[in-house]
Amino acid sequence: MADSNMSDVIEAYLKQILQQANEIEIRRVDLAQRFSVVPSQINYVIKTRFNTENGYLVESKRGGGGYIRIVKMALRSEPQLIEEIKQQLPEVVSFRTATSVISTLYREQILTAHEGELILTLLSNETLSVGNITVQGQLRARLLQQLLSRLRFESERD
């Protein structure tokens, strides 16, 4: 539980910096020292909370002068980034992943809160219950793919 709380603290710290600038460059070791954690804890936070599904691009360089660059994506003005999210979706999508994608679309004001809630209802485990969890995840993936295709089309028309 303490690890979970520390992950939340690290995430909040990075998001606070990202509010001031859409791009940050950090050294994994420096961040680990700042929070008295091992560098793998920083990797965990970056991998699980700053991914494309959540609206971020991450570039990493390892080694002595290594760094992690986190860029907050601007989805509405960049249809190719919607396409990138679409391309990175796996063939089987969990409800948790779907929630991350919908949250990003809401945060970027592509969907309203009401639209997001309706879509999540349609993507829920209860709605897609077909007796096979793999098929359920495949259906969810296909539905998300279609949603992203439509949103990309609409953003290109704007």
Give the CATH fold of the 2-72 domain: Phenylalanyl-tRNA Synthetase; Chain B, domain 1 (3.30.56)
Question: Would you state the pLDDT for residue 34?
Answer: 93
Torsion angles phi and psi, residue 66, rounded to 5: -65, 155
Mean pLDDT is lowest, of 27-41, 52-66, 121-135, for: 52-66
Give φ, ψ of 69 to 5 degrees: -110, 125
Domain ranges of the chain: 2-72, 79-157
Task: Report the pLDDT value the prediction gives residue 61, as an integer from 0 to 100.
Answer: 78
- Inform me whether the pLDDT recorded for 115 exceeds 70: yes
Cα torsion through 132, 133, 135, 136, rounded to 10 = 110
79-157 sits in which CATH class?
A: mainly alpha
What mean pLDDT is reported for the chain? Answer: 86
Residues forming beta bridges with residue 58, ordered by sequence position: 70
Instruction: With 0.75 as the threshold, say if the pTM is over it.
Output: no
DSSP calls for 56-105: EEEEEE-STT-EEEEEE--TTT-HHHHHHHHHHS-SS--HHHHHHHHHHH
User: Where does the pLDDT of residue 1 fall: very low under 50, low under 70, confident under 90, or very high at 90 and above?
Assistant: very low
Q: Which of 60-74, 101-115, 131-145 has the lowest mean pLDDT?
A: 60-74
Identify whether the C-beta of residue 102 lies closer than 8 Å to the C-beta of residue 116. yes
Distance CA 119, CA 117 (A): 5
Of the CA atoms within 13 Å of residue 152, those in its CB half-sphere come to 15
